[in-house]
Structure 1
């Protein structure tokens, strides 16, 4: 990992990069949910990030950077707040996406398989993305460690996340960092299947 790496809260001016990392972390699921090509889906996510729209808000993000260059980003929050953040997203959908895409997003969103993404006693890693040019340098692990430290500072002893069953590279990253699969959700549409993973944090 680059010794000059720093992780800081995202600012509104970082919304475009945050959106890029959200889109990267979601993969084909983002294009499916937003009913758009990859470039348009990323633009929609950026619109939501700039508006601090619920769980897509830039205010929930942390940036990993070196020499002022963004290398990756993390969106995370306490699991107890996930329902509130999901609801807070909806008022922003129509102005950020337009009627057709907003309606499609809601329709597809409520039909997603599986149950709760996070539990109240967990610190939830909603999105974690590392720029392709910086992958393999320990950025993802550094962001996970940051999330775990934030969880402990919040009085929580577990972190959790979901990862697409097709995303084997991300799955291996999480397993190397101590995350264990606690639930497997399958779907006929491969991009909708996912693993829910949890890590119990040990205090040093």
Structure 2
């Protein structure tokens, strides 16, 4: 099977949001459920993806396509944008942001932060995720950033194997307290992948 990796387009936003919801491990439901009357979490995220000039935008997303269909995605941006800003404080209930304080404070400085990596279930196991990460490494180098970084649930064994296989190392634990909408135990890991020839850097 052949696929191509290319920048996402605005028309892809509903598909990107659905993929991101599948990969979020309950985080999208926790943040967006019942936030906008009449709209599902995926519908709210699709609006966010279509908004240009902000981190969680299709502009910062690459996709894998097979026969013009989006089969995988990777959303990333400079790690300096990973955090709770005033716009988020104005939009999300304070208790939801408080619950995720450690998640949003965990980052590796001067890195390209991989916010979402998702592959359609029927296309998994074909090295698509690995190839998306390879493309992100080139993107980070072009931006003169020193590493890639991400946060993954500790009990997501499949994702952990992929990230370790592609050069990521655990930096520290991230506290995410249990919640009925987040069906994961033990919190998460902040991970980084130093780019070739560069030493790991101190995290915040």
Q: Which runs of 5+ in 2 are unaligned?
A: 198-204
User: Which has the higher mean CA deviation after the structures are superposed, 180-189 or 145-154?
Assistant: 180-189
How far off its partner does 1:88 sit? 7.4
Q: How do 1:177-188 residues align onto structure 2 when only pairs under 5 Å count?
A: 177-188=166-177
| Cα distance between partner residues in 1 of 2:137 and 2:87 | 25
| Cα distance between partner residues in 1 of 2:51 and 2:40 | 17
In the alignment, is the contact (CA less than 8 A) between 1:184 and 1:196 conserved in 2?
yes
Residue 43 (structure 1) aligns with: 43
Residue 173 (structure 1) aligns with: 162
| Cα distance between partner residues in 2 of 1:89 and 1:24 | 25
Q: Which runs of 5+ in 1 are unaligned?
A: 94-101
Q: TM-score, normalised by structure 1?
A: 0.81
Residue 202 (structure 1) aligns with: 196
Cα RMSD of the aligned pairs, angstroms, is 2.5
| Cα distance between partner residues in 1 of 2:87 and 2:119 | 24
In the alignment, is the contact (CA less than 8 A) between 1:19 and 1:49 conserved in 2?
yes
1:26–1:53 CA distance, 2 compared to 1 (3 A): farther
Residue 136 (structure 2) aligns with: 147
Higher helix proportion (structure 1 or 2) = 1
In the alignment, is the contact (CA less than 8 A) between 1:157 and 1:202 conserved in 2?
no
SS in 1 for 2:40: helix
| Cα distance between partner residues in 2 of 1:52 and 1:27 | 25
Residue 107 (structure 1) aligned with residue 105 (structure 2) = no
Deviations 1:135-185 (A, max 9, x none): 111111111111111111111231110011232211111111111111112
Q: TM-score, normalised by structure 2?
A: 0.81
In the alignment, is the contact (CA less than 8 A) between 1:53 and 1:88 conserved in 2?
no
Deviations 1:52-89 (A, max 9, x none): 47332121111111221111001111223435xx5375
Q: How many residues align?
A: 188
Residue 202 (structure 2) aligns with: none
